[in-house]
Chain A
Amino acid sequence: MSHLTEEQFERIMQDGETQEAHLESCQLCRSRLAEKRALAARLKSAFANVSAAPDLADRIRDSLPADKSPARARLVSRIFDIRAHRRSWVIVAGAVAAMIIIAPLVIDMLTPSPAMAAQKALVQIHRNNLAQHNGFFAEAQPEKLAEYFREKLGFNPRLPTPEQGLALRGCCVRHFQGGVVGSYVVDTPQGVMSIVIVTDRPETLGISTEFAHGKHVFWKSSFASNNMVSARIGEYSYCAVGEISHRYLSELLSRLLIEEETD
């Protein structure tokens, strides 16, 4: 007696049918089918309790750039309106529409999102800081860090003061989007965070969810298990990065902002 082939078994598994005449007379094939079904059911049940972390959906939504292409969507919609109402222009309008629609899409697909690239770069800076790679200046004295930044970058960034209960671990100058930026590392009761100081506005870095904390406005996002909160101080965006809650990151930045008010 020839038994069912693997392809026949897969068809039965896919379609759920059991009308194969052979099955009625072959105990071995019935047993093999029961085994395959039990295996599939067990595999499915094994994943029943696997679900995304509760904050993953928020992280994804936070990391999405602000609606980047409503103009393009409107343009597409308008083009299709024209096509619907002016049939005689179908061929010409279609060709033009295809050019207008496809060209930005192709360019878009070939070009990594600047927002995503910026967030990746910020997280990478934080990770390099944690590993103290590439010329990390390990120093806990705010004055020494200020001197380092003056020498390397010619500016005086806001630094937490010792009475704020936040220990400085050190600082460095990192490459970021074709330029160099300053960054320092702070030990906090909730973990280690990096503050990266850039001139770009938070929204252009994809840190686009605006929220208020106290009297101040912040922007937040998440990427690769790290949270980011940014605040504008003068001409700079101070981006706090770390595996620390948004609330706590904004709390630290609030302290830096308070210092600004008391100047």
Chain B
Amino acid sequence: MTLRSRFEKTACAHIDAVYRAAFALCGARETAGDLVQTTFLKAFENFGSFKTDTNCKAWLMRILRNTWIDRLRRQKTAGPHLPLDEDGLEHKPVAIETVWSNPQDLLENFSDEQVIKALASLADDQRLTLFLVDVEGFSQEDVAKITGVAVGTVKSRTSRARAALREHLSSWAEEMGWTGGRQ
């Protein structure tokens, strides 16, 4: 089997997953398609160094993240969106004393587009971390390798991302008058 056919068999099976992640990162379908195409070209160039007994999807996600960061840096828009130092970020205090009484019912009020938009409002690495954990079901260890941080950082990022996402949705729910969910 040629290198190319092995690549197509092993890596191309993950195009949809990589596309979803790209869409979560950049929020635009066309840009996501370009990002995925560049990611797969880079992956093919480096496929010789890929270990076949490792997680190909995680390997592709790492290349995607690096490609995205490179692109941001080239566009010189990386500054405010690149939370390289998570501790440097400001976090609004989360009102943990209030919880949604019927979270599933409340969340069903939001369209898919609104939920994705709320996710898009998070900082890049929080957004990618929460996406990888909740949507793609990666373990915290895998996400740590993909994003190049410690497992503890993944946990804190996930937690902060969840809290931030919840707050975004809560504020929208209040604007829409769906406040009955709080208890």
Contacts and interface: CB of A to CB of B under 8 A. Distances in A.
Contacts of A53: 29, 33
A54 B58 CA distance: 23
Contacts of B135: 43-44, 47
B112 A52 contact: no
Given A13-B158, A39-B169, A108-B45, 9 more contacts: A7-B159, A10-B159, A48-B112, A56-B33, A59-B33, A64-B7, A64-B40, A64-B41, A109-B45
Contacts of B140: 10, 14
B99 interface: yes
Contacts of B119: 43, 46
Nearest to A76: B48
Contacts of A13: 158
Interface of B is mostly: helix
Contact of A44 (B30, B97, B134, B156): B134
Given A52-B33, A57-B12, A61-B8, A43 B103 contact: no
Interface string B20-57: 10011000011001101110110011101100000000
Given A14-B140, A31-B183, A225 B33 contact: yes
B78 interface: no
A10 B115 CA distance: 21
Interface in A27-49: 28, 31-32, 34-36, 38-49
B3 A60 contact: no
A42 B110 contact: yes
A45 B12 contact: no
A116 interface: yes
Q: In terms of DSSP, what is the predominant structure of the interface of chain A?
A: helix
Given A31-B183, A34-B103, A44-B134, A224 B159 contact: no
A80 interface: no
Given A31-B99, A38-B104, A61 B46 contact: no
Contacts of B4: 64, 66-67
A35 B166 contact: yes
Interface residues of B, number: 57
Interface in A190-237: 222-225
A113 interface: yes
Complex A-B, nearest 9 residue pairs according to Cβ-Cβ distance, in ascending order = A38-B103, A52-B19, A46-B115, A42-B107, A6-B159, A46-B112, A40-B134, A67-B4, A31-B99
18 contacts: A6-B159, A31-B100, A32-B96, A35-B99, A35-B103, A35-B166, A38-B100, A39-B166, A40-B134, A42-B108, A43-B131, A52-B36, A60-B12, A64-B4, A64-B7, A64-B40, A67-B3, A105-B48
Interface residues of A, number: 55
A92 interface: no
A61 B36 contact: no
B107 A73 contact: no
Interface in B74-113: 96-97, 99-101, 103-104, 107-108, 110, 112
A50 interface: yes
Contacts of B34: 224-225
Given A35-B100, A46-B116, A52 B15 contact: yes
Contact of A64 (B44, B104, B116, B159): B44
Residue from A11, A40, A64 with most neighbouring chain B CB atoms (10 Å): A64
